[in-house]
Amino acid sequence: MVGIDSPGGLELASRLTAAENGPGVVTFGFSTSADWRLTEVSIKGRGSSAVLVGPGGVEYALDLRTVGGHQLLNAAAAVITLHVLGQHCGQAVEQLRYFDGVVRRMTPAFEAGGVRVYDSYAHHPDEVRADLAAARSVAGEQGRMITVFQPSGPSRLTVFGWEFGKALAGSDEVVVTGSAQRFAVAGLETLSARIDAAGGTCRHVEPDRAEAAVLAASLARPGDVLVLMGPGDIAEAGQVLRSALGDTVGTAV
């Protein structure tokens, strides 16, 4: 089973299909050319929904508590796997309605001062894009998106630095912070510059995660969505952020 929404996935599916004595290939995604495709997609508030349409007119209504197109793709992959194996999918589809997601995968953390806070483990540019797209859908047309990003390590920044900059530029405001691996400030400042070069806004580079949370709170206003993002200990700044939002929200300009 191969997702074909990306050029790489589409190429892989084509190569596998063309290979002599290759495996059977089932494709899925939002693409109209997929064997199984997601239609009637709705992503808002605290959930996502879509209709999964398969060969022969088979349909499953997916209704999730998790937010984001990537969450719908994950759910679709699970249902399609069961279908291909000849299993009854109705119960699985029903249980997906009550699944609250995986911890730190765009998990709703709390709301304070009218700002909704999410926790994200994203540590690869594609994951950053996916979670920020989900956050954008939650924020809607009126709210803004603020991200506190903690990279996983210097080596990953070296390899993906420009892609991280492009991905994080999708946020209205970014605060870059350090990690347990004790980033050199210069490395964080390089990432900040790359975010700005990609058309984003990174006003603050703060190695201390608690101070970074306070800075992010100073940028927030009611209706915004704030994401604590990264695989390190950034989630532990949540309590500081909650207090800071209560004190500062509404005063930012």
Residue range of the domain that includes 18:
2-96
Same domain, 42 and 119: no
Model pLDDT, residue 59: 95
Q: How far is CA 160 from CA 82, 154, 156, 164, in A?
A: 35, 10, 6, 6
CA distance 168 to 82: 35
Model pLDDT, residue 182: 59
Model pLDDT, residue 197: 96
Same domain, 84 and 16: yes
DSSP code string of 77-95: HHHHHHHHTT---HHHHHH
Same domain, 67 and 117: no
Domain count, the chain: 2
Q: What is the pTM of this model?
A: 0.83
Q: What is the pLDDT of residues 45-95, one digit of tens each?
A: 678 999 999 999 999 999 999 888 889 999 999 999 999 999 989 999 999
CA distance 96 to 76: 10
Same domain, 127 and 92: no
What stretches in the chain show pLDDT beneath 70? 45, 179-184, 248-253
Domain termination site, one of 96, 127, 160: 96
Model pLDDT, residue 179: 67
Q: What is the pLDDT of residues 19-39, one digit of tens each?
A: 888 888 999 999 999 999 999
> Does residue 58 lie in a domain region?
yes
CATH (domain of 32): 3.40.1190.10
Same domain, 87 and 20: yes
Model pLDDT, residue 198: 96
Same domain, 89 and 113: no
Domain termination site, one of 96, 130, 145: 96
CATH (domain of 195): 3.90.190.20
> Does residue 253 lie in a domain region?
no
| Phi, psi angles (nearest 5°) of residue 200 | -95, -175
Same domain, 135 and 74: no
